């Protein structure tokens, strides 16, 4: 094996060691990239680095990231999710598991309105976990439903993951948004089906809201509340996603509309104030800075790995996988799933994923389909112990009686459902490719 390829392997090992030692991701990327790249080729290897970094910070599409993040934080501060859960919960309260179904539907709406997983899980944990536990819900089921529904923003457009995958894979954001629509609804449907089945076989784990409590709100009042609370977020979703998928607006322009729309919704709910606006802007800046810092420091890492012959190592490893291109895709899915136990989605996206993409591009595989498979797979990384971020988010806001094991136990069935969804998208590529082809993307 050539000396440079040995350096490439050592560089990967050094990166993971630094990461496990608690060094920030951006620092791990920059240090290992510069040190091992310089050891292999000296400063000559990095002559292209300024142009690559300039390409990242001037990428017009990536401007949508801080705007969508701002929209998500503003919707969180305006307590729209709280009103949605209250109204939809009463509308479905007569069903066993009705509150759990309401949590899933609110997760779909909040995911489609913001795309920020952390904000959705924290918000749902604060407003839903205590009430459903007080109604007699099984602790594990309640935790699992909240965590899983909160991660739907990972796959349902406008997902931050899809925006970054579009940049990595060279696809348009509109194509990936269109491709993710049916798989996202499929996952939501699997969650709903599981809750209904569980409510049928274990009614005590998901009790219905008592009839006398539901009778306190008349049908007319409930209908008015549904229109007042549910209609504005749906209108915002149609305005943002419809304009992108329909080709009316670029992702950045649609994100600007979404950010403005979130301010309008906050004002309509009476929650808009200087403090709320300040917190939303600050939160969007901090999160965006973290993302862009990782993107910038991923450039020397990627440049060094390719310069040291890392792509040849990956190509040779994939060539040994049996089953042709389908076997190689299956191998990639297994690898990403395992990495999701230990790494965040953004680390997997910008470190592991670019190493394998040239193989599928050269084979002529539909990259939109690969992107959706990756997005569904990465969604499980928010739920898989020990480092699933949705688990941490919920534990941070859960009542003291909710133990870590309750959360871990509760998410296991939903991890299985996500793997079922992944298998369906793998077996039936049309779930991801039909809509982009139908609208001419």
Phi, psi of 210 (to 5 degrees): -55, 145
Residue recorded with tokens 């009614």: 203
Query: In the numeric block, which tokens belong to residue 413?
Result: 């069935």
Q: Map out the domains of the chain as residue ranges.
A: 3-438
Q: What distances in angstroms separate CA 165 from CA 62, 95, 229, 431, one per listed residue? A: 11, 39, 33, 18
Query: In the numeric block, which tokens belong to residue 41?
Result: 């080729």
Alpha helices, DSSP H only, in 366-403? 367-380, 389-397
pLDDT, one tens digit for every residue, the chain (441 residues): 677 778 888 888 888 788 778 787 788 888 888 888 888 777 777 787 888 788 777 877 778 778 877 887 787 777 776 777 777 777 776 677 778 888 888 888 777 766 566 667 777 777 778 777 877 888 888 888 888 888 887 888 877 788 888 888 888 888 888 899 899 999 999 999 998 898 888 888 878 776 665 565 556 566 676 677 777 877 887 888 778 777 787 778 888 888 888 888 888 878 788 888 888 888 888 878 877 887 788 888 878 877 777 767 766 776 777 777 888 888 888 888 887 776 677 777 777 777 778 788 888 888 899 999 999 988 887 788 766 777 777 877 777 788 878 888 888 999 999 999 999 999 999 999 998 888 766
Burial of 265 (0-12, 13-18, 19+ CB in 10 A): buried
List % helix, strand, coil for the chain (3-state, nearest 5): 80, 0, 20
Distance CA 241, CA 249 (A): 9
Alpha helices, DSSP H only, in 269-323? 274-307, 310-319
The DSSP secondary structure of 149-190, one letter per residue, reads HHGGGGTSSS-HHHHHHHHHHT--HHHHHHHHHHHHHHHHHH
Let me know: does 188 contact 212? Beta carbons within 8 Å.
no
Query: In the numeric block, which tokens belong to residue 303?
Result: 């440049």
**H/E run at residue 68:** helix 64-77
Let me know: does 304 contact 39? Beta carbons within 8 Å.
no
Alpha helices, DSSP H only, in 216-273? 219-245, 251-268
Distance CA 255, CA 243 (A): 10
Q: What distances in angstroms separate CA 316 from CA 68, 120, 304, 363, one per listed residue? A: 39, 41, 19, 15
Let me know: does 280 contact 78? Beta carbons within 8 Å.
no
Residue recorded with tokens 């133990």: 403
Q: Which residues contact 183 (CB under 8 A, 6 or more apart)?
A: 155, 372, 375, 376, 421, 425, 431, 432
Query: In the numeric block, which tokens belong to residue 409?
Result: 């136990």
Query: In the numeric block, which tokens belong to residue 19?
Result: 């990461």
């Amino acid at each position: 094996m050539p000396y440079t390829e040995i350096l490439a392997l050592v560089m990967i090992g050094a990166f993971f060691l630094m990461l496990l030692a608690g060094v920030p991701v951006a620092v791990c990327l920059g240090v290992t990239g510069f040190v091992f790249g310089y050891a292999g080729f000296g400063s000559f290897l990095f002559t292209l680095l300024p142009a690559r970094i300039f390409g990242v910070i001037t990428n017009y599409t990536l401007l949508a990231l801080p705007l969508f993040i701002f929209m998500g934080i503003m919707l969180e501060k305006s307590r729209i999710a709280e009103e949605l859960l209250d109204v939809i919960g009463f509308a479905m309260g007569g069903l066993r598991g009705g509150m759990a179904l309401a949590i899933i539907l609110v997760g779909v709406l909040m995911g489609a309105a913001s795309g920020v997983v952390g904000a959705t899980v924290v918000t749902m944990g604060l407003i839903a976990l205590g009430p459903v536990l007080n109604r007699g819900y099984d602790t594990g089921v309640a935790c699992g439903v909240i965590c899983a529904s909160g991660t739907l923003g990972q796959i349902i457009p406008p997902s931050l993951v899809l925006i970054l995958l579009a940049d990595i894979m060279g696809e348009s954001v509109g194509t990936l948004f269109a491709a993710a629509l049916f798989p996202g609804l499929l996952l939501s449907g699997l969650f709903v089906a599981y809750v209904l089945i569980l409510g049928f076989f274990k009614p005590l784990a998901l009790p219905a809201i008592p009839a006398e409590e539901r009778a306190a709100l008349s049908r007319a009042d409930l209908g008015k509340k549904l229109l007042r609370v549910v209609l504005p977020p749906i209108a915002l979703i149609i305005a943002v996603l419809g304009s992108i998928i329909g080709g009316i607006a670029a992702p950045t322009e649609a994100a600007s509309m979404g950010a403005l729309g979130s301010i309008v919704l906050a004002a309509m709910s009476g929650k808009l104030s200087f403090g709320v606006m300040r917190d939303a802007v600050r939160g969007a800046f901090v999160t965006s800075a973290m993302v862009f810092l990782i993107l910038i420091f991923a450039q020397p890492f990627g440049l060094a790995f390719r310069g040291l012959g890392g792509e040849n190592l990956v190509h040779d490893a994939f060539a040994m996988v049996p089953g042709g291109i389908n076997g190689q895709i299956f191998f990639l899915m297994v690898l990403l799933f395992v990495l999701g136990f230990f790494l965040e989605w953004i680390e997997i996206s910008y470190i592991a994923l670019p190493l394998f993409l040239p193989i599928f591009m050269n084979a002529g595989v539909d990259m939109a389909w690969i992107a959706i498979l990756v997005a569904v797979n990465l969604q499980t990384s928010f739920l898989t112990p020990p480092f699933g971020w949705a688990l941490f988010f919920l534990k941070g806001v859960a009542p003291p009686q909710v133990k870590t094991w309750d959360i871990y136990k509760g998410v296991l069935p939903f991890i299985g459902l996500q793997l079922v969804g992944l298998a369906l998208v793998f077996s039936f590529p049309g779930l991801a490719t039909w809509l982009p082809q139908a609208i001419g993307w």
